[in-house]
Amino acid sequence: MSRSGPPQNEHLWGDLPIEEPRGDDRSKPPDWALPAWDSLPIEEAAAARLQREAPGGDAAQPRAEASRAEASPTEPAGGFALRILQVSEITRAVRDAVRSDAGLRDVWVEGEVGRVTVSSAGHAYFTLKDERSQLACVFFRDDRLGSPFEPRTGLRVVVHGRIDLFESQGVYQLYVAAIQPAGFGDLALRFEALKAKLAAEGLFESGRKRPLPQRPAVIGVATSATGAVWHDICHVVARRWPLARLILAPCQVQGEGSAASVAAALDRLARWGEMCRAEGRPDDAPAVVILARGGGSLEDLWSFNDERVVRAVVAHPVPVVCGVGHEVDVTLADFAADVRAPTPSAAAEMVVPDRTEVAVVLRELARRAGGHAGRVLGGARAELAAEGRALERLQPSAQLAQARERAGYLLDRATRALRGEIGRRREAEHRLASRLGPVLVAQMGWRRVALERSSAGLAALGPQATLNRGYAIVRRRSDDAIVRDEAEAPAGERLSVRLAKGEVAATVDPESDTKSGAELHAGDLR
């Protein structure tokens, strides 16, 4: 078919007895008639078909009969025939052309989702656009409900489907069979590739993992300053271990530039720690760092799969606990971290102890200290009393020092043994000890050799050892009686104080009450 130029058009219009159905001014052709039919760049196949049908006769095309009658070519010369088509005809012609094109029957289209509407029947209608064009899309209810991914305005997606014409509206549309986030397959591939690369470098090896400090005084946190994550971490630490101090390094945790922002926040915490240590206040340096982010889509969490973030975690000077997303979300930062926490709150719980548990440990320590102090003092008093009794009986003197030690020990041991065996009251013990004392002295002569052999071991427990430990034996000068009671040494009484080495003389000061003070104190310790 030859394209007609404007002159021919004018000529044709001039000759044709076109009737205006609405009785408009016939002196000029109506707007809709321009340009001429045969100049329209319609599909060649459709045009050829139309031309074939033209001589076919009115009976074959009853619906087009009227217009065809009017439009019958009066000048068939040159093979040209003007045909006026029904709207539905042209629509169907376009539809057929579209349907016959294999390239449009099965398409994958990437674009950004524009406005989305969902009809009451459950079908979703949305536009897909790029910088230059828009494409109407329809996502039927059954396909939509079966899809894990919903079109949402602003998302970049890849849509799979076919192009077809919606005849009643005369628009072509993309009939969506499936929809996925753009780059979905890309992301998964990049994740695996980077993971393999970093794993080959050994960055994820368990040998690199550092233990967490038991009770960190300062905890660095790299997360968004806005949002629930930071709030949750503060809440958990305030409840469990409020002795700690949190230092937030705010960062952007999703979207463009977030990976660099997260890596920079970790770097700031590292520099801050180094600065504190360099300035001689290591207590202000973070002892552990939490890297956290709430849950989100794969893309939302993508910055935590960035190589820069992974390397910042691995290179961090103190252990890093990573709590990103929910339990099921695992990022490369999780692999790189010293400890992986399932959630941000769990990360906070991991880095600090629970103060109620620590309080239990403290109480146990206090109980042990009190118990031992009480036993030590109680034992010392019993020992002192027993030695005192022994010395009293034996009338110790410098010449008898060695024998006194041994005797004192033996008496003491006998006393204790008797106490254990018989379980008598204190008075009874005392009586028995009194009787035993002289017997032991009498036996001393023939036992001396045997005693001397074991004296080295025994000495450790005898009175001299006790004196060496700082105890003293106080006697009245007047009668050499051992002083055990304040009442036995009234003011002005002259005393002799036996020390580990030598003796000193002393007089009881009228105002002194040190002994009762010491007694009171020992009582406190029980």
Contacts with other proteins, residue ranges (CB under 8 A): 215, 217, 220, 225-227, 230-231, 234-235, 237-238, 242-250, 268-269, 271-272, 275, 283-284, 355, 358-359, 362, 365-366, 368-370, 372-373, 376-377, 380, 469-471, 514, 517-518, 521-522, 525
Q: How far is the CB of 241 from other proteins (least distance, A)?
A: 8
Q: Are 86 and 101 in contact (CB under 8 A)?
A: no
In whole angstroms, how far apart are CA 273 and each of 201, 281, 355, 363?
A: 26, 9, 25, 34
Instruction: Decide whether 135 or 259 has the Cβ nearer to other proteins.
Output: 259
Q: How far is the CB of 187 from other proteins (least distance, A)?
A: 29
Strands in 503-507's sheet, in edge-to-edge order, are 473-476, 494-498, 503-507
Q: Give residue 252's identity as a one-letter amino acid code.
A: Q
Q: Are 230 and 224 in contact (CB under 8 A)?
A: yes
Cα torsion 363, 369, 370, 374 to 10°: value is 160
Q: How far is the CB of 226 from other proteins (least distance, A)?
A: 5
Instruction: Decide whether 273 or 437 has the Cβ nearer to other proteins.
Output: 273
Instruction: Decide whether 81 or 313 has the Cβ nearer to other proteins.
Output: 313
Angle formed at CA 484 by CA 478 and CA 486, multiple of 5 degrees: 85
Q: How far is the CB of 146 from other proteins (least distance, A)?
A: 39
8-state DSSP, 148: S
503-507 vs 494-498, strand pairing mode: antiparallel
Q: How far is the CB of 501 from other proteins (least distance, A)?
A: 16
Q: How far is the CB of 182 from other proteins (least distance, A)?
A: 30
Residues 6+ apart with CB under 8 A from 236: 345, 348, 349, 352
Q: How far is the CB of 291 from other proteins (least distance, A)?
A: 14
Instruction: Decide whether 84 or 465 has the Cβ nearer to other proteins.
Output: 465
Q: How far is the CB of 340 from other proteins (least distance, A)?
A: 24
Instruction: Decide whether 124 or 248 has the Cβ nearer to other proteins.
Output: 248
Ramachandran assignment for 343, one of left (phi > 0), alpha (psi -120 to 50 degrees), beta (any other): beta
Instruction: Decide whether 42 or 373 has the Cβ nearer to other proteins.
Output: 373
How far apart are alpha carbons 246 and 250 in whole angstroms? 12
Q: Which residues pair with 324 in a beta bridge?
A: 293
Number of residues that make up the chain: 526
How far apart are alpha carbons 248 and 218 in whole angstroms? 11
Instruction: Decide whether 45 or 520 has the Cβ nearer to other proteins.
Output: 520
Token pair 């008496």 is at which residue?
411
How far apart are alpha carbons 321 and 347 in whole angstroms? 6
3-class SS at 177? strand
473-476 vs 339-340, strand pairing mode: unpaired
In whole angstroms, how far apart are CA 216 and each of 67, 219, 231, 394, 468?
A: 90, 6, 19, 62, 44
How far apart are alpha carbons 327 and 342 in whole angstroms? 4
Residues 6+ apart with CB under 8 A from 515: 486
Q: How far is the CB of 470 from other proteins (least distance, A)?
A: 5
Instruction: Decide whether 283 or 480 has the Cβ nearer to other proteins.
Output: 283
Instruction: Decide whether 216 or 323 has the Cβ nearer to other proteins.
Output: 216
How far from the centroid of its chain's Cα atoms is residue 33's Cα?
71
Instruction: Decide whether 185 or 255 has the Cβ nearer to other proteins.
Output: 255
Q: How far is the CB of 207 from other proteins (least distance, A)?
A: 28
Instruction: Decide whether 160 or 515 has the Cβ nearer to other proteins.
Output: 515
Burial of residue 482 (CB within 10 Å: 0-12, 13-18, 19+) is buried
Task: Copy the structure tokens of residue 318.
Answer: 């103190």
Instruction: Decide whether 122 or 242 has the Cβ nearer to other proteins.
Output: 242
Q: How far is the CB of 234 from other proteins (least distance, A)?
A: 4
Q: How far is the CB of 288 from other proteins (least distance, A)?
A: 14
